[in-house]
Amino acid sequence: MATLNVAEVVHELGRLGATDRAVAFRLLAKDRAVEVFEDLDPALQAELVASLHGHAAAIFAALDPDDRAALLDEVPAGVARRLLAALPPDEHAATTALLGYPEDSAGRRMSPEVVAVPVGTTVGDTIAQVRAAGDDAETVYVVPVVADGRRVRGVVSLRRLVLTDPATPVDAVMSPATTVRATDDAEHAANVVRDGGFVGVPVVDGEDRLVGVLTVDDAMRVLEAEDDEDSARTGGAEPLRRPYLSVSVLGLVRSRVVWLLMLIVAASLTVGVQSYFEDELAQVVALALFVPLLIGTGGNAGSQAATTVVRASAVGDVRTGDVARVVGREMLTGLLLGLTLATVGVGPAMLVAGPAIGLVLALTVVAVCTLATTVGSSVPLLAKRVGIDPAIVSAPFISTFVDTTGLIVYFSIAKAVLGI
Amino acid sequence: MATLNVAEVVHELGRLGATDRAVAFRLLAKDRAVEVFEDLDPALQAELVASLHGHAAAIFAALDPDDRAALLDEVPAGVARRLLAALPPDEHAATTALLGYPEDSAGRRMSPEVVAVPVGTTVGDTIAQVRAAGDDAETVYVVPVVADGRRVRGVVSLRRLVLTDPATPVDAVMSPATTVRATDDAEHAANVVRDGGFVGVPVVDGEDRLVGVLTVDDAMRVLEAEDDEDSARTGGAEPLRRPYLSVSVLGLVRSRVVWLLMLIVAASLTVGVQSYFEDELAQVVALALFVPLLIGTGGNAGSQAATTVVRASAVGDVRTGDVARVVGREMLTGLLLGLTLATVGVGPAMLVAGPAIGLVLALTVVAVCTLATTVGSSVPLLAKRVGIDPAIVSAPFISTFVDTTGLIVYFSIAKAVLGI
């Protein structure tokens, strides 16, 4: 292929600096520019809009209402007002309706321009309505069937419509609808779309009335953004919210420095603990040799448990009601892991450090692994229960916490066994 | 709603033990059972098949060929042979064709039963072909337009077909096709579907001939499995490949113990390093107090860099050719992070440990942060270049490596500054 397709152009733009990107974007033909713009990250869209002046309003008007709402979240308030004001009245109404839903809700991400038909409509008439909507409706692959004030009674796919005799009433061929609430968390709604393998899912208000459809491509974007966020926080940083190479070095520093500072403050507890046991350390310097190994192992066991539980909770395999069951399983897992490591490692440890310190190490490994998996699994789930993103209190915080408590366990066992 | 929908049934089944799951599954009506089965994890499908005896063949025949291929990867070879043998001849052919592509390739995950039309076909005739295929074709939302021995010339969406006058030739309304190769990595192909917001993408062979379509729901599953894998390995464990609560405690131990053992072997290098500097440690016991804090900070900085780069590489934002650029950025980021932490922390450190050790700590933090981001970003990218999953050499390995080298840096700086 001689020319790049839209996805490739989007990718290449994401790798350029802001100025080069603006120049490259202006070189695109108008129709292509709109397609490319639609697929860019909202953060990059916002930058482009700021640099496009006159062209911005035309491109903005060509977007779907949900893409418009996402962009408005990114640009400064003054720019947002100007862009909204330039919209034709009906587009304006569709966009402000979306902005009425809370951020990160399904309502913000849905397509409000939906073809829906009342119960009793024939398949032929339904197809005619799809035709009449033309390119205005963002999705026509899922047609909700409604009754009684837009309450959803079922859905019929465009595929089913094409396969069915036109005189059949839609109710005869519709399937029961899986719906989500407009106020539902967007991630939950996107999981519903993915788990069911749907092309789209009707979105309803508090009284079960149809307000839009969450389409599969919007769901995929929601999940990608959530995965970005979980992945960044698991690594102890804030999500970048835009392609890596388009972020400046200062931007990278900004996404990480607060986490590092918080973690270093938490880690300074380890200094306190070791100062408290300084006499024992001075008496048996050999104890110091194994500190990095022990706290490293505790950190690893804790981060395994935390990562597993955070992920299981993100995909919906584990719910907040499962805390006791999950923590019980993880505690037992940690105990078995600790016993395995102690059994395998006790020989070499005794050879290196003598039988007494070898025993201390073996006992500490068992205790620290059990502690780490217990903390690593319970803290994220408890955080979720009180409304904190479980990914925030994941691996790095667990490691730091386990470092401190692990040291207390280590020196306490050493004091008891060695009699110091 | 009084009854659970398919997605909810799938979810609840994933939370049961193997025996309860088999019993609950047998209670489902036949048609519903097939729908539920389709959406289950392949690992759970394999277990069910083993427990279903006579029913298994019927359910197996009702699956789409790509779902069948995924299931065959999970069941024992003997069971796979029996299931394949019981298939009608055409279904048998479609399934074995898929099994000819390498594991984790787009060819394994595509739908081979596709409606495609030659260039010149009218829209009306194309719709007629979609109708004729009926429920046999897994996807009809994307109709490839072919010429010259099934070479893909474009695609037309079912939506466009419905909106267009039946007498128009499809070539007049088709769009240029973004295609993927059957031998492409499934994750890459799924990223193409997601980034372009496609309902499906034609899959072609080495000579650009159409062999199938990768649909958006299959793409979402591929990406979910890849995210599971990346997330598990970032946390230092093997992916579970099935819902968390359906994994036994021994299964959890198995997914983690090899990683923990390897990491503990690597971490034993820290014991060696500290033994080497044991004299210095005995002379200035205060040095030992800051070891957990320093290596924790190095580990955190390294895991931030590794996680960011692994993710950017998974979504395609960073390629293996970008190694130099990425590592340069990360090195600078690490230097700036280290300088910030040193500036903020040097005051408290001097108060606690005196000016000399305070200086040692400040210098070490700068060096360790720079080292950590450099290693954290380069190792995953280099691993990818030689064909190793970058997530494997992520956070836990980086931390362990940084622990060891960080200790060498720390004691060397201490020797130089303190003159010991």
Chain B residues with CB inside 8 Å of A288's CB? Answer: 274, 281, 285, 288, 291
Domain boundary among A74, A100, A126: A100
Pair (A263, A226) in one structural domain:
no
Chain B residues with CB inside 8 Å of A127's CB? Answer: 162
Q: What total number of domains does chain B contain?
A: 3
Taking alpha carbons only, the member of A269, A265, A278, A307 closest to residue A403 is: A269
Pair (B368, B260) in one structural domain:
yes
Confidence of residue A2 (pLDDT cuts 50, 70, 90): very low
Task: Number of A to B CB contacts under 8 A, please give it.
Answer: 351
ipTM of the complex, rounded to two decimals? 0.81
Pair (B266, B368) in one structural domain:
yes
What is the CATH classification number for the domain harbouring B169?
3.10.580.10
pLDDT at B324 over 90: yes
- Which residue of A216, A276, A284, A401 is the best one to mutate when testing the B interface, meaning the one whose CB has the most B CBs within 10 A? A216
Pair (B308, B369) in one structural domain:
yes
* Least confident span in A130-139, A213-222, A265-274, B228-237: A130-139
d(CA A305, CA A291): 21
Q: Using CB atoms within 10 Å of the CB of residue B208, give its burial: 0 to 12 exposed, 13 to 18 middle, 19+ buried.
A: middle
Domain boundary among A197, A230, A263: A230
What is the CATH classification number for the domain harbouring A335?
1.10.357.20
3-state secondary structure of A101: coil
pLDDT digits (tens, 9 = 90+) for B188-205: 999 899 888 888 999 999
State what percent of residues in chain B have pLDDT above 90: 34
Pair (B35, B141) in one structural domain:
no
Highest mean pLDDT: which range of A26-30, B3-7, B24-28, B151-155: B151-155
CB contact under 8 A, A274 and B288: yes
pLDDT for res B138: 65
Containing structural domain, residue B12 = 6-100
pLDDT for res B137: 64
pLDDT digits (tens, 9 = 90+) for A12-28: 888 887 888 888 888 88
Note whether residue A327 is domain-resident. Answer: yes
Note whether residue B105 is domain-resident. Answer: no
CB A141 within 8 A of CB A190: no
CB contact under 8 A, B162 and A217: no
Note whether residue A241 is domain-resident. Answer: no
d(CA B81, CA B241): 23
Q: If you measure CA to CA, which chain B residue comes closest to A291?
A: B292
- Which residue of A188, A319, A333, A402 is the best one to mutate when testing the B interface, meaning the one whose CB has the most B CBs within 10 A? A333
Q: What is the 3-state secondary structure (H, E, C) of chain B?
A: CCCCCHHHHHHHHHCCCHHHHHHHHHCCCHHHHHHHHHHCCHHHHHHHHHHHCHHHHHHHHHCCHHHHHHHHCCCCHHHHHHHHHCCCHHHHHHHHHHHCCCCCEHHHHCECCECCEECCCEHHHHHHHHHHHHHHCCECCEEEEEECCCEEEEEEEHHHHHHCCCCCEHHHHCECCCCEECCCEHHHHHHHHHHHCCCEEEEECCCCEEEEEEEHHHHHHHHHHHHHHHHHHHCCCCCCCCCHHHCCHHHHHHHHHHHHHHHHHHHHHHHHHHHHCHHHHHHCCHHHHCHHHHHHHHHHHHHHHHHHHHHHHHCCCCCHHHHHHHHHHHHHHHHHHHHHHHHHHHHHHHHHHHHHHHHHHHHHHHHHHHHHHHHHHHHHHHHHHCCCCHHHHCHHHHHHHHHHHHHHHHHHHHHHHHCC
pLDDT digits (tens, 9 = 90+) for A332-374: 999 999 999 999 988 888 888 889 999 999 999 999 999 999 9
CA distances B2 to A374, B5, B12, Å, are: 37, 10, 15
Strand A180-181, strand B142-147: pairing: unpaired
Note whether residue B110 is domain-resident. Answer: no
- Ramachandran angles phi, psi of B100, nearest 5°: -75, -20
Chain A residues with CB inside 8 Å of B198's CB? Answer: 217
Distance, in angstroms, between A50 CA and closest chain B CA? Answer: 23
Distance, in angstroms, between A267 CA and closest chain B CA? Answer: 5
Average pLDDT in chain A:
87
CB B96 within 8 A of CB B70: no
Count the Cβ atoms, other than its own, within 10 Å of residue B17.
11
